[in-house]
Amino acid sequence: MAKKLDLERILSKQGFGTRKQCRIMIINEEVTVNGDLCDDPSATFELENLKFTVKGEAWDYREKSYLMLHKPSNYECSHKTQHHPTIYSLLPHPLVVRDVQCIGRLDEDTTGLILISDDGQFIHRMSSPKHKVPKVYEVTCKHKVSDEQIAHILKGVQLIDEDAPIAALACERISENVIHMTLAEGKYHQVKRMVAAISNRVEALKRIQIGELKLPDDLKVGEWKWLSEGDMLLLNAK
């Protein structure tokens, strides 16, 4: 049997405020459901394929939120920032109210693909070291990258405070100063420290892929989008 809820509870679960606040919006005729105006907070609706608008903005009902964001530079992946704006300021307020969390933080000066969700199991699966989800980074180095340096990264470099050398899963030269490095871990400043260990320096860093999911060419810096079914399949591909 399809699950049904009353409208004020639906809106509250989707992050549009307390039940009282949602009730007021409904009574004030600020909500439509499946194309029709509804001013009854107690009206019940099936959740499957439910579409609604709040103050003219269209939404689909989603039990859980799964998003991707093209992170800009000089943004922090934290709700409590220290020096820069939070990436959560780039999202609609209802999603922030739902307490979505980024999966694996990027440094404030690092750009690129970041996943965001309020599904704890999904967050754990994508971030837990035991699942070893690969991430690909586009690394712009200060100096030319030699074949010997790439070989060193693939063999493993010794980092301070690490017991054993750490190797990239893959490392491909794109141009004289740009490489694509694939890692399964997420250690502190790992890419920067690995590049420093081969006597070079990171000038710019961008995450371009997580698992089999690539950062879309049409997702502009600072923009976000819902993950599609196809995106989720790419993330779950082994």
Which residues are CB-contacts of 50 (< 8 A; sequence separation ≥ 6)? 10, 33, 34, 60, 61
pTM over 0.95: no
**What are the residue ranges of CATH 3.30.70.1560 in the chain?**
134-210
Catalytic choice (40, 99, 107, 119): 107
Residue 138's SS3 state is strand
State both tokens at 207.
């995450």
**Which fold does the domain 66-129+222-236 belong to in CATH?**
Alpha-Beta Plaits (3.30.70)
Q: What is the CATH number of domain 134-210?
A: 3.30.70.1560
Series of mean pLDDT values for 10-residue runs along the chain (238 residues): 87 96 97 95 94 95 96 91 89 94 91 96 89 93 96 92 89 96 86 94 96 96 96 85
Q: Give residue 213's Cα distance to chain centre.
A: 11
State both tokens at 6.
């009353």
**Which fold does the domain 4-60 belong to in CATH?**
3.10.290
**Contact in structure between 224 and 72 (CB atoms under 8 Å):** no
**Contact in structure between 107 and 189 (CB atoms under 8 Å):** yes
**Contact in structure between 64 and 122 (CB atoms under 8 Å):** yes
State both tokens at 225.
């989008």
**What are the residue ranges of CATH 3.30.70.580 in the chain?**
66-129+222-236
Instruction: Give pLDDT, residue 225.
Output: 97
Instruction: Give pLDDT, residue 18.
Output: 95
Instruction: Give pLDDT, residue 145.
Output: 96
Instruction: Give pLDDT, residue 161.
Output: 81
Give yes or no: 107 in active site.
yes
Instruction: Give pLDDT, residue 1.
Output: 57
User: What does DSSP say about strands 111-117 and 202-210: parallel, antiparallel, or unpaired?
Assistant: parallel
Instruction: Give pLDDT, residue 45.
Output: 95
